[in-house]
Structure 1
Amino acid sequence: AAIYGLQLAAALNCSTADSVKALKCLTTADVQEIVVAQQRLNQTEEDMKNGLSLIFVPSIDKTSKKPFLPYHPRKLLEEGEGSFVPFIMGINSDEGMMTLGITKDEERIKNITNNLERFIPPEVRNQSTESRLAFLVKKIKWFYFQDTVPSASNLRGYVDLNTDVLFGYSTAVSARAFRDRADVYLYFFAFNGTFKERVTEIVMKTYNFSGVSHAEELSYLFVRQKVNQTATEDSAEMKTWKQMAKLWTNFAKYGTPTVGTDPELDSVAWSPVGNVTTRYLRIDGNLTMISNDYLGSRVALWDSITPSRSGYLQATAVLIVLLTTIILYLTK
């Protein structure tokens, strides 16, 4: 963080000879200028190798009298720190589509199979022999791509891999970790409606790939200025919008998303994640409670790759459990 902080200071024409002066300059800089400047920073080779896509993230603070984050989120989670209250969490079916907006050329999509090692968590990668790493890479490649090569016309494996590494696996691990301490209501949002962000529409048009990308469920919970949310009263979009709003407001009012038998919610009872299987609510134009394990074989793959003791989360995906843990810790 210190390296990037000084880079940011330099980008804003602050003095970098003294870290105290650099910090003072940053605290008085214009917010918009900071946002623009940080986008120009270059990640270190090690961070890129470890799959870190975010430069500035919450840091552990052990020196302050009232630290915001005193320990690593995994430690807080394992030791049961925080006030564990019921909460909702989940992912969209094609979260990995967001990386297509970042990946500008088809050559990079094709080359993903030549760089699968970076998807393996650092603590696994650093403790594995070359033969073990080769085995894991082969395992990942076969699971997502079989004998095919990812391309603009063959994106399913590419999208699923990024979905699982960035969001899916960490969500499953987090749900399993919290379920003994609080009711966790897990969802899988797969409604491919018309409420799309502009970047998603561009990706769909550019790659001729349709799916439910990152943050798309928010368009069925809130009014969003950058999304065309025009829908007729009898449309699937309006039905989903009303169902989502009712589930979330029920949860805020009663602590549970479903109360009794409600025809507007397809008479479904959204049950918390179980202790044996990781059950969840599938939202795809209809509401269906699924009792089978969340993401099934996809989660099983990463369970077989990551250390069972810590349930290691990929560096960028750890933010999901990090933010959840912070909220619970601060409410203690």
Structure 2
Amino acid sequence: MVPPELTIDQGTLRGSTSTDLRGNSFFKFQGIPYAKPPIGELRFKAPVPAEPWTGILDATKQGPVCFHRDPLRKGLISGSEDCLYLNVYTKTLPDHANTTLRPVLFWVHGGGFYFGSGNEDLYGPDFLITEDVVVVTINYRLGVLGFLSLEDPSLDVPGNAGFKDQVLALKWVQNNISKFGGDPNNVTIFGESAGGAAIHLLVLSPMTKGLFHKAIAQSGCALNPWARGTTGCAFLGPALGVEPSDEKTIYNILMTKSVEEIFQIQDILMSGLVLSGHRPVGFVVETNSSQPFLDDEPMNIITSGRFNQVPFMVGYTTGEGMIFDLMRRELKDFRDVVPWFFGYERDAPETRTIADKIKKFYFGDDEVSPKTVTQKYNCLTDVQFLYGIYVTIINQVAVSQVPTYLYRMSVESGLNVLKIFLKIEVPGTSHYDDVGYLFRHFATPDITPGSTEDLCLTKIVKLWTNFAKFGNPTPDVNDPRLKAVWKPVTNTSNLDFLDIGKDLVALVNPDPERINFWKQLFSESPAAHKTHHK
């Protein structure tokens, strides 16, 4: 087959072809630059659109990933500071006889804001592209390079550069996606984990109006404790032997260091964090920027209704907390799971009181041990993911004019590769394992037609692509593949949700006892109540 070529705003691309899960061909255009390399004077700064090129750009190979360590392949440290590239996958290219544009699915990868990429070893399009959609995956800056936030306005590093990368990629989609057969007026953003939090933040951002039309936040939201970064140099100053208040010196030092040296510093900072404490990477509220990605606290934006009101899907897996086994993070001191936004120092008596309540609720008189591993996973699921998602839903639904859909992912099969990799034997769907039903990745097993894996991924792909097409994941009540009606949340006292297991089951109020425990805990804390509970 002749390699496909097309011309976009920047120049001409030559792509390649591949086949999807069902054996049908599709086109791939990979490694497309959407921004200038964020190097030299552009390090830490907001991204700048890519310049045009002459000749034909080879889009048959993926672009460099952003510098990181792979948590599944721990010896693998790879990437480049020049990493702002995206990939486009499409079934057909438009011509004069074929002008029907298709819905666009725009993926933001997870990885805690400090690892991962949008490339095919983690996010191959083979499953989603079986439906009539165009898929876009992106890289964005990670770690200190993507999320350094300095308070000195003269340095022009207010933070959120990694999120601004995502915004620029969405602008690229608006300008170019029709050339690939995608509809710029029907773009669904979706992501998982840090990608899920990024999706929620894109919904809340004043920078993104009109850039997307639906949003899916998987296992992450702006109100999860790990999504928040820090303004200033409280972490970096001590690591560099400089007073945290001396931002100009810190900035100048960082500008002289190689990407490898910055990574080494970041690696030390990230390894010493407690589970629910402050992190040096994540979103910040920008107070010294003329064009902020986020100009107010997320809860204020949510409750005022000032967010981008688009159909919204959000949910979690039953065993989110299993991910911490991958990071080898043991639950030894329950003060480590008290969210930082309760406002107490770790050694404060209030922190000990809250920690004791958490331990009592989940473990009773038992200790953390192999026999109580389910309780550990539930505790980490709730504090790191579920409660923030719950608070997001009840507050957005109260002011939103568009539907919000809630799910709980409980599916288990051979595609739950992270749980299998971690050798976890208790029931539950691990964090990240929902991704294996949407994308092919390096550990995806062979899929036999008609197998449990095939049937489950077909259902989940259909729900996600239905939402992208119609803003409703179950528009056809007679679809034999789904056999369910997924109702949007309309009553915040009785939350409709879909349990996505081997069967799809419509239910009300997920995990109510656990949610009510955290509601009570938050209501007793003035600081937490102010920022995370309404």
Task: Indicate yes or no: 2:433 matched with 1:216.
Answer: yes
Say which SS state the counterpart of residue 97 (structure 1) adopts: helix
**1:52 Cα deviation from its structure 2 partner:** 2.2
Q: Which has the larger radius of gyration?
A: 2
Task: Indicate yes or no: 2:502 matched with 1:285.
Answer: yes
Match of 1:191 in 2: 411
- Taking the aligned partners of 1:147 and 1:246, their CA distance within structure 2 comes to 45
- Taking the aligned partners of 1:265 and 1:244, their CA distance within structure 2 comes to 10
Contact 1:74–1:310 (CA under 8 A) maintained in structure 2: no
215 and 264 in structure 1: CA distance in 2 versus 1, 3 angstrom threshold: farther
Q: Which has the larger helix fraction?
A: 1
How many residues in Structure 1 have an aligned counterpart in Structure 2? 292
Q: Deviations over 1:142-189 (max 9, x none)?
A: 321122222123301111000101111111111111113131111100
**1:136 Cα deviation from its structure 2 partner:** 4.2
Contact 1:219–1:227 (CA under 8 A) maintained in structure 2: no
Task: Indicate yes or no: 2:377 matched with 1:159.
Answer: yes
Match of 1:169 in 2: 387
- Taking the aligned partners of 1:311 and 1:260, their CA distance within structure 2 comes to 45
Say which SS state the counterpart of residue 18 (structure 1) adopts: helix
TM-score by length of 1: 0.76
Say which SS state the counterpart of residue 281 (structure 1) adopts: strand
- Taking the aligned partners of 1:248 and 1:155, their CA distance within structure 2 comes to 32
**1:59 Cα deviation from its structure 2 partner:** 1.7
- Taking the aligned partners of 1:61 and 1:294, their CA distance within structure 2 comes to 35
Q: Aligned ranges for residues 1-332 of structure 1 at < 5 Å?
A: 1-6=232-237, 18-25=249-256, 29-30=258-259, 34-35=262-263, 37-41=265-269, 48=274, 51-52=276-277, 54-103=279-328, 108-109=330-331, 112=332, 115-122=333-340, 124=342, 126=344, 136-180=354-398, 181=400, 182-197=402-417, 199-204=418-423, 208-209=425-426, 211-224=428-441, 226-275=442-491, 276-291=493-508, 293-307=509-523, 312=528
Report the AA paired with residue 372 of structure 2.
N
124 and 8 in structure 1: CA distance in 2 versus 1, 3 angstrom threshold: closer
Give the unaligned 5+ runs of structure 2: 1-231, 242-246
Report the AA paired with residue 283 of structure 1.
I
Report the AA paired with residue 188 of structure 1.
R
Contact 2:276–2:384 (CA under 8 A) maintained in structure 1: no
TM-score by length of 2: 0.49
Report the AA paired with residue 256 of structure 1.
N
**1:201 Cα deviation from its structure 2 partner:** 2.7
Q: Deviations over 1:267-318 (max 9, x none)?
A: 2111111223112100110001102x122111000000003899949x9xx8
Q: Which has the higher contact order (CA 8 A, sep 6+)?
A: 1
Q: Which has the larger strand fraction?
A: 2
Say which SS state the counterpart of residue 187 (structure 1) adopts: strand
Please provide the CA RMSD for this pair.
3.3
Q: Deviations over 1:208-261 (max 9, x none)?
A: 44531111101101122x222422222121111011111111111111111121
Contact 1:282–1:289 (CA under 8 A) maintained in structure 2: yes
Give the unaligned 5+ runs of structure 1: 11-15, 319-332
Contact 1:303–1:311 (CA under 8 A) maintained in structure 2: no
**1:73 Cα deviation from its structure 2 partner:** 1.3
- Taking the aligned partners of 1:183 and 1:233, their CA distance within structure 2 comes to 34
189 and 33 in structure 1: CA distance in 2 versus 1, 3 angstrom threshold: farther
